[in-house]
Amino acid sequence: MIVRISGEGQYRLADDDAERVDGLRREALAIVDSGSDEGFVDAFAALLDYVRAQGTLLGDDELQGSDVILPPADFSFEEAGREFTGEGLIPD
Amino acid sequence: MAGLTGRMSTVVKAKVSKLLDRAEDPGETLDYSYQKQVEQLQNVKKGIADVVTAKKRLQMQESSLQQSVVKLDTQARQALSGGQEDLARTALERKNVAQTELQGLDTQVAELEEQQQKLTDSEQKLRAKIEAFRTKKEVIKAQYSAAEAQVRISEAATGVGEQMADVGLAMQRAVDKTENMKARADAVSELEAAGTFDDITQLGGGEDDIDRQLKQLSSQPAVDSELEKMKSELGSGAPRAPAPQIAAAGEAPADGEEAQQPIENGGQA
């Protein structure tokens, strides 16, 4: 399984890790849905830390799509609460 | 967060498949993709240059505000030692406003610095991926049948496309931040244009509209306490008697020295 942390890079994780990653993601998401930011920073950091610790960083010469794309590490609670609307630099 | 995760994947896939649909022949697709990637790299560079420009603008405002703080502090001391307490208070109010703006600019310059570093890192990563794509496309062209090449191109293009979308996202966040900062920078420019931080001695006695607005902006307790402190440093109350004009050296003992080091009690900075 390939997981990208936006702004950081792609990590290769064992397929068995998918469940744990998903669990941590749901925990962070539940906090966002609750509308209170208490615990968000820690929960989100735990998710990213798990990916970094369990995964191996993909080399720059490996060209693969990711199975999961996670927001950047400095992602704020406010940003998490609203949809991203921009489409970046990819040409139409 | 789920929204972002899902949306980003969707956008990337849509963009990549659009790229691949442009040309029928896999060889053509490869060259076209590569050409597009190189173009996008130029856009990233331009984006970084924009962030640097925004940062420089804020830094210029910072240094001009710093000069104003020094000047206003000096003038407050001169006014006070000359017995003109009202004028001293006005100077301190303006200094207070300038210092508050300065703090805001400091934070923003630091944020832009961080954004710039991240974008530069992302640009290097994207460059490396594009280079890998260039190598790979020659291998694919030479070694694979059309059908198989199509699959491999798709994989490789997705890998690069995703990196590009990621840089695009970082760029967008940087631009959003820069926009927010522009509002503050413009506000500071307006204050400067209105003469807020100009030579206080040219104001004369009357209170104008700017003064009234500034009194609301500046924190009065901070101004009061700084005024008191300045008084005690000058070693007297405010001698109301035969007030000398605002001049460099007054009669208070510590005066000459004070004028040389005006911001030692920058206080709430």
Tell me the chain A residues in contact with residue B173 when contact means C-beta distances shorter than 8 Å: 72
- Among the partner residues B7, B36, B39, nearest to A84 by beta-carbon distance: B7
Tell me the chain B residues in contact with residue A39 when contact means C-beta distances shorter than 8 Å: none
- Among the partner residues A29, A70, A86, nearest to B172 by beta-carbon distance: A86
Tell me the chain A residues in contact with residue B122 when contact means C-beta distances shorter than 8 Å: 7
Give domain status of residue A79, yes or no.
yes
- Among the partner residues B44, B166, B171, nearest to A4 by beta-carbon distance: B166
B223 and B93 Cβ atoms separated by less than 8 Å:
yes
**Predicted model pTM:** 0.67
Give domain status of residue A88, yes or no.
no
How far apart, in whole angstroms, are the C-alpha atoms of residue B169 and residue A84?
9
Mutation pick from A1, A2, A6, A83 vs chain B, by most beta carbons of B within 10 Å, is: A6
pLDDT band at A54 (very low <50, low <70, confident <90, very high): very high
The whole-angstrom distance between residue B171's C-alpha and the CA centroid of its chain comes to 15
How far apart, in whole angstroms, are the C-alpha atoms of residue B180 and residue A77?
18
The predicted pLDDT at position B150 comes to 77
Whole-number Cα distances in Å, A52 to A8, A11, A73, B119, B133: 10, 7, 11, 21, 25
pLDDT band at B192 (very low <50, low <70, confident <90, very high): confident
pLDDT band at B194 (very low <50, low <70, confident <90, very high): confident
CB contact (8 A) between residue B169 and residue A61: no
Of chain B, the percentage scoring pLDDT greater than 90 comes to 4
CB neighbours (10 Å) of residue B201?
Answer: 14
The predicted pLDDT at position B8 comes to 55
Gap from A43 CA to chain B (nearest CA, Å): 12
Q: Could you give the angle at the alpha carbon of B163 between the alpha carbons of B157 and B164, nearest 5°?
A: 85
In SS3 terms, chain B reads as CHHHHHHHHHHHHHHHHHHHHCCCCHHHHHHHHHHHHHHHHHHHHHHHHHHHHHHHHHHHHHHHHHHHHHHHHHHHHHHHHCCCHHHHHHHHHHHHHHHHHHHHHHHHHHHHHHHHHHHHHHHHHHHHHHHHHHHHHHHHHHHCCHHHHHHHHHHHHHHHHHHHHHHHHHHHHHHHHHHHHHHHHHHHHHHHHCCCCCCHHHCCCCCCHHHHHHHHHCCHHHHHHHHHHHHHHCCCCCCCCCCCCCCCCCCCCCHHHHHHCCCCCCCCC
Give domain status of residue A92, yes or no.
no
The C-alpha torsion from B188 through B194 and B196 to B199, rounded to 10°, is 130
The string of pLDDT tens digits covering residues B208-266 is 565 656 666 666 778 888 888 888 888 754 454 444 454 444 444 444 444 444 444 44
Tell me the chain A residues in contact with residue B4 when contact means C-beta distances shorter than 8 Å: 71, 80, 83-84
B91 and B223 Cβ atoms separated by less than 8 Å:
no
With 0-12 / 13-18 / 19 or more C-beta atoms within 10 angstroms meaning exposed / middle / buried, residue B19 is: buried
Q: What is the mean pLDDT of chain B?
A: 75
Give domain status of residue A70, yes or no.
yes
The predicted pLDDT at position A45 comes to 93
Angular region, B249: left φ>0, alpha ψ -120 to 50, beta rest: beta
CB contact (8 A) between residue A63 and residue B129: yes
Instruction: Give every CB contact of residue A16 below 8 A, 6+ residues apart in sequence.
Output: none
- Among the partner residues B8, B125, B159, nearest to A63 by beta-carbon distance: B159
Give domain status of residue A63, yes or no.
yes
Window from A13-27, A49-63, B149-163, B182-196 with minimum mean pLDDT: B182-196
**Inter-chain contacts counted by CB atoms under 8 A, chains A and B:** 113
- Averaged pLDDT, B87-112: 88
Counting the structural domains of chain A, the total is: 1
A6 and B169 Cβ atoms separated by less than 8 Å:
yes
- Residue that has been written with the tokens 């901070």 in this structure: B222
Long-range contacts of B146-150 (CB under 8 A, 24+ apart): B146/B25, B146/B26, B149/B26, B149/B27, B150/B26, B150/B29
- Among the partner residues B16, B44, B125, nearest to A89 by beta-carbon distance: B44
The predicted pLDDT at position B267 comes to 43
Give domain status of residue A13, yes or no.
yes
pLDDT band at B203 (very low <50, low <70, confident <90, very high): low
Domain membership of residue A73 as a residue range = 2-83
How far apart, in whole angstroms, are the C-alpha atoms of residue A74 and residue B129?
24
Give domain status of residue A59, yes or no.
yes
Give domain status of residue A89, yes or no.
no
CB contact (8 A) between residue A61 and residue B9: no
